[in-house]
Amino acid sequence: MKKLLTFLRAYRRECVLAPLFKMLEAIFELFVPLVVAAIIDRGISGRETAVIYRMGILLAALGLIGLLCSVTAQFFAARAAVGCAADLRRSLFAHIQSLSYTALDRVGTSTLITRMTADVNQVQSGINLVLRLFLRSPFIVFGAMLMAFTVDVPSACIFALAIPVLSIIVFGIMCWSIPRFGEIRKRLDGVLGITRENLAGVRVIRAFGREEAEQRDFDVRNEVLTALQLRVGRISALMNPLTYVVINLAVIALIHTGAVRVNEGLLTAGEVVALYNYMSQILVELIKLANLIITINKSLACTDRINQVFAIPADMTAEASAPSTDMPGSDYAVEFRHVSFTYAGSAEPSLSNLTLRVKRGETVGIIGGTGAGKSTLCQLIPRFYDATEGSVLVNGTDVRSCATDELRRKIAVVPQTATLFAGTVRDNLLWGQRDGVPADDAALMAALETAQAKNIIEEKGGLDAPIAQHGRNLSGGQRQRLTIARALVGRPEILILDDSASALDYATDAALRQALRRLPDQTTVFIVSQRAASLCHADQIVVLDDGEVVGIGTHDQLLADCSVYAEIYYSQFEKEEA
C-alpha cells in the first residue's frame, strides 16, 4: 500500500479536490428532503403557490449545483486514477526490465502479464471509486441519520439501530472475502500460464496428438478457478439482499412510527416523507458502499500482488550506479575463471569449473550435446545470469562491477529463437543501433550483406519491406539472417550467435562464417552450433558434456584428443555421406 501512495503523491491536488467536490455534492443532496418537506407542508397543505415555486427553484438549483460538483469530482478522480495507473504500470515495466533472468524464471511470464494488465486495471478502478465514494457514502449515511434527528428524535432512533446492523453485514463479508480474492488471482495466473503454453506450443501439441490431454488439464484448472469464484461470488452477493432486508425492515418501522406520530399530531406528512427520503438515501449509499468495498478488496489483493513484484530485488543493476568505466581491460576480450552456474531450483549445476580465455578478434566455437550448457555459457557473458561460482571478465573487468547498460552496449546476442517485430525491415534492423555507431541505409545494407540477407531484402522491396509480427511472412532461415544482421548493425565488440544459423543450408552457413571472419575492429565471435562443420575453422572450440568442459582446442587437436568431439564430428559426416 505504501508503494501505491508514492504514485498518488504526484496527484495530491486531484486526491483532495475529488473527495471535496463529492462532499459538496453530498451536502446539497442532504438538503433535498427538507426542501421537499417544505413543499408538502407549506406549499401543498398550506396552499401557498409562491412557496411551491420558490422551493421548486431551490430544488432545481440544488440539483444543478450537485451535478456540477459531481462532474468536477469525477474529472479529478479519473485524472488521478488513470495517471497513477499509468505511472504504476510504467514503473512496474521498468522494474521487470531490470530483473535478472533468474528472477523472471522464478516468477513466470504469465504472472507478470496478469499483474501488468488486469491487476493494474483493478487498482485503477479502486482508486477511482475510493476518491469518489469512500468519503461521500459514509458522510451521506451518517449525515442522513443526523438530519433525521433534526426532524424527529424517536423516528431517528430507527436509523441508529439499522446502521450498526448494516455495518456488521458489510464489514463481515469484506473481512471474509479479502483473502479469497488473492487466491482467485493466483488461480487465474495458473489458467493464463497454461493458456499461454498451449498457444505457444500449439504445433507441438497437435503433432503429438495431445489436444485432449491439454484440454482436460485446462478444464481441471478452469473448474477449480470457477468454483472458487462462485464461492466468493455467492458470499459477496449476499451483501445486497441482506442490506435491502435490513433497510426495508427499517422503512416499515419508520412508516409505522411516522403514521402513529402523524395521527397524534407530533409529525407532519412532509416530515415523514423527509424521513423516508433520508432512509432511501442511506439505502442507495450503502449499496454503493458495499460495491465499493468489494472493489477495494479486489484492488488491495491486486496491490499486494504488484508489490510482490516490486519486492523482487533488481540484482542485475545493483552495481550499475557505480562510476562508469571504459573497460580498457587486458589482451583478452572474455575470460572465464573457474566458473560454475546452477539454475534456481536445480539440484545439479549446468556449468562446472569452466576456465577459458578468448583474445580479441578470435572466433570461438561451442559444441556439445543437448543440455550440455552451451547457451548457459553464452548468457553469462552479457550478464543475463550471474555465475554461481567464479567470475566472468570482459576486457579484463568483472561483469559484476560493470554498469549493465555499458556492458551490453559492447555485446550483441542472437538467440536461438529468431524474434522479429511487426514493422519494416528498417525498423527491425534499427533495434541493433548503438550510440556513436552510424545506422544509415548504407550501414544497414552492409549488415544485411554480411548476414547473407541482402538479396532476400532486395527481392521483397528493400529496407521498407513489411515484416509481420514474429516474422511470420518469412521463412526460418530468412528470420535468422535478419536477426544476425540486426546484431551486426551496432558493430559490437563481442558477437554471440547462439545456435542462430540452424535453419541455414550448408552453403549459406559457410558464406556467413567467411563474412564474419572479415568483420572489422577485431570483433570477437562466439558461435554455438550442433554442426561440427560450422566450427571447424574457429580459432578454438569448447566441447561441453553435461556442463563440464571435456576439450578446448582447434579442430585438428580435438579430433585427435577429444573423444566426445570426434564422436560428434564423425557421426555427422557419416550421415551426410550416406
Q: Which of residues 465, 492, 519 is at a domain's end? A: 492
Q: Is 341 in the same domain as 436?
A: no
The whole-number pLDDT of residue 125 equals: 92
The strand ranges marked E within 420-547 are: 423-424, 466-467, 494-498, 524-528, 540-545
Q: Is 445 in the same domain as 456?
A: yes
Domain hosting 403: range is 321-410+493-578
Q: Is 148 in the same domain as 243?
A: yes
CA 294 to CA 314: how far, in whole Å? Answer: 33
Phi, psi of 339 (to 5 degrees): -85, 130
Here the CATH number for the domain that contains residue 438 is 3.40.50.300
Q: Is 169 in the same domain as 31?
A: yes
CA 272 to CA 181: how far, in whole Å? Answer: 42
CA 392 to CA 401: how far, in whole Å? Answer: 10
**Residue 158 is placed in which grid cell?**
430507527
Q: Is 329 in the same domain as 354?
A: yes
Q: Is 223 in the same domain as 294?
A: yes
Q: Which of residues 460, 492, 524 is at a domain's end? A: 492
Q: Is 23 in the same domain as 108?
A: yes
CA 299 to CA 182: how far, in whole Å? Answer: 10
Number of residues that this document lists for the chain: 578
Structurally, the chain folds into a number of domains equal to 3
Q: 368-418 pLDDT, tens per residue?
A: 888 888 889 999 999 888 888 999 999 888 988 888 888 888 899 998 888
The whole-number pLDDT of residue 85 equals: 93
Q: Which of residues 477, 492, 507 is at a domain's end? A: 492
Q: Is 306 in the same domain as 234?
A: yes
Do residues 17 and 76 lie in contact, with contact meaning Cβ atoms separated by under 8 Å? yes
CA 513 to CA 554: how far, in whole Å? Answer: 16
**Residue 498 is placed in which grid cell?**
547462439
Q: Is 446 in the same domain as 556?
A: no
- Entry pTM: 0.70
The whole-number pLDDT of residue 171 equals: 76
Here the CATH number for the domain that contains residue 174 is 1.20.1560.10
The whole-number pLDDT of residue 576 equals: 46
Q: Is 90 in the same domain as 135?
A: yes
Confidence band, pLDDT 50/70/90 cuts, at residue 258: confident
CA 544 to CA 534: how far, in whole Å? Answer: 16
Q: 497-547 pLDDT, tens per residue?
A: 988 888 888 888 888 888 888 887 678 999 998 888 888 888 999 999 888
Q: 266-281 pLDDT, tens per residue?
A: 888 888 888 888 888 8
Ranking 173-187, 380-394, 477-491 by mean pLDDT, the lowest is 173-187
Q: Is 497 in the same domain as 420?
A: no
Q: Is 283 in the same domain as 426?
A: no
